[in-house]
Amino acid sequence: MPQKPVAGRYELLEQLNHGGMGEVWRGYDAVLDRPVAVKVIRGQAAATPQLAEELAKRFRREARITARIQHPGVPQVYDAVLDEDSYDRLFLVMELVEGVPLSHLVHPDLSLPIGWAVAVAAQVATVLSYAHEVPVIHRDLKPGNILVAHDGTVKVLDFGIAAILRTDVTKLTATGSPVGTYQYMSPEQVRGGQVTPKVDLYALGCVLHELLSGRVLFSADSEYLVMFQHVNAPPAPLRQLRADVPAELEELVLHLLRKAPEARPADVQEVYERLRPFLPAAGEEPSPHEAVPPGTPDPTGVFRRPYAPRSRGRSVGAPDRAAAEAPAVPAAAPLSETLRAQIREAREHYDALVEEERFSQAAEVAGEIVEPAAQALGAENKVVLALRARRAGARLLGGDFRAALPEFEMLAEAYSRINGPTSRAALDCRAQAARCRAELGQVTEALTALESVLGVVRNVDSDASEEAVVLRRDIGMLLLAQGRAAEARALLEPLHDDLNLVYGPEDEMTLEVAEALAVLRLDLDGTTG
């Protein structure tokens, strides 16, 4: 059953994670046409209006404070919504971050490179420094709340959640299961003592110990016994578990894990300075022994290439390798009734979303069915190509030109092989790819491609065909953008005559070209006529 949109605008599309405090959903903001993450927090049941009001106030306060942490390592908070029907569900709408949580990378049989682990800890320390300045204390720092994004940026999730639910009041003598993550609780949290930024330092020590050793700091047969160890048991020195850990790094972790808060480092700035000697220098390339499992993001990159521009991904013109390497299946492969129904449903959903100008979500809907269709029918089956064309079109309409470009170029190549290089489908995709290049600032390449397509269209059809006049208009506007005024005028004047004849003087494109010519004449002749 579809979920009711939150606040009338945030749709819950797919559950990404589920835990004791609630759920995380991949969501969609219907107003701003963008994907979001929606944290659904299940609080204590509000038995009375007074308790409900207290929960609402606490939630709004923490959400607003969290939104003040201005750092790329903290996902942006877009909105905070309280379920006013029951007051026991809180919706935190945030930036959707794609990446790998640390909890997926820690394993006793996997030794993460020291530089990799230190880079994560250093980035977390930087985030905490901004948070503690607000001040905001995380209270529940753990591998599951630390995510390494695909570009290597470390994101610290769930700031303020522990404060909203008061998960820092679990005492060692409490009965039943504690609310919170007992493996990373500082001794003062276990006892129910005063919470200060030092609880985050202790948790960071637990996380770094786990990254380097591959195992949690303390383990026992019950949660109670683990909490008892946090209060009373000495932690095992890292070098007893892993011989290649530098002595200074072992000393830092032990310092972070001291039982008394005042005995720990003064602040996270001190922690960062002590981590710096183990971080890669700017320009330094990783050595072979620093390798991590394939596909694992690299958190050291921000230190090796500080302030580097965005890397050139395959989206700047390289074909979609995954699609190009999809296993070839005969075009006549049978289409199951289930898949046929899924494709039909995806098309209908796509069309409805495009009609509502929800282009980002439309591209996702088309993309979700592409892979199963390609596996069943083959990468160059006409149904699969049509679905890819829909996704590319939605990306173009939504302004995601960087993602649309390689899709259109792949489609142009595929249609050229199947239908011939002068087929309408191939030419259309080449033209759309060129338009993407123009939007990305690659004007020279875009002009060359559009002129090439126009040459073919002129040979196949008339100069006043619908395809030809749009191409002539696009080329003229690009010439204008390059400052090639005389060439633009030479192209746009005959185009204007054709548009007046075929579409009339009040047509939108006729008026657009007339306005451009008026500017050109003023520029070239000093006249408006």
Give the single-character DSSP code of 70. Answer: -
How many other C-beta atoms are found inside a 10 Å radius of the C-beta of residue 468? 19
In one letter, which amino acid is 366? A
Token duo for residue 43: 């609080």
Please give the Cα distance from 100 to 121 (Å, whole number): 15
CA–CA distances in Å: residue 401 to residues 28, 133, 438, 473: 20, 38, 9, 20
Q: Which of 174, 177, 141 is nearest to 159 (CA)?
A: 141
* Radius of gyration, alpha carbons of the chain: 29
Token duo for residue 493: 């004047």
Residue 92, beta-bridge partner list: 39, 80
Q: Which of 484, 478, 495 is nearest to 520 (CA)?
A: 484
Answer left, alpha or beta for residue 309, where phi above 0 means left and psi between -120 and 50 means alpha: beta
What are the residue numbers of the active site?
A: 140
Please give the Cα distance from 207 to 288 (Å, whole number): 25
Please give the Cα distance from 254 to 252 (Å, whole number): 5
Coil, helix or strand at residue 446: helix
Contacts of 374 by beta carbon, 8 Å cutoff, 6+ apart:
323, 326, 381, 384
10-19 and 22-29 beta bridge pairing: antiparallel
89-94 and 99-101 beta bridge pairing: unpaired
Coil, helix or strand at residue 80: strand
Coil, helix or strand at residue 224: helix
The three-state DSSP-derived secondary structure of 225-283 is HHHHHHHHCCCCCHHHHCCCCCHHHHHHHHHHCCCCHHHCCCCHHHHHHHHHHHCCCCC
Cα end-to-end distance, the chain, whole Å: 63
Contacts of 89 by beta carbon, 8 Å cutoff, 6+ apart:
22, 40, 41, 42, 43, 82, 83
Contact 216, 102 (CB under 8 A): no
β-sheet with 99-101: strand ranges across: 99-101, 146-149, 154-156
Q: Is the peptide bond before 288 cis (omega within 30 degrees of 0)?
A: no
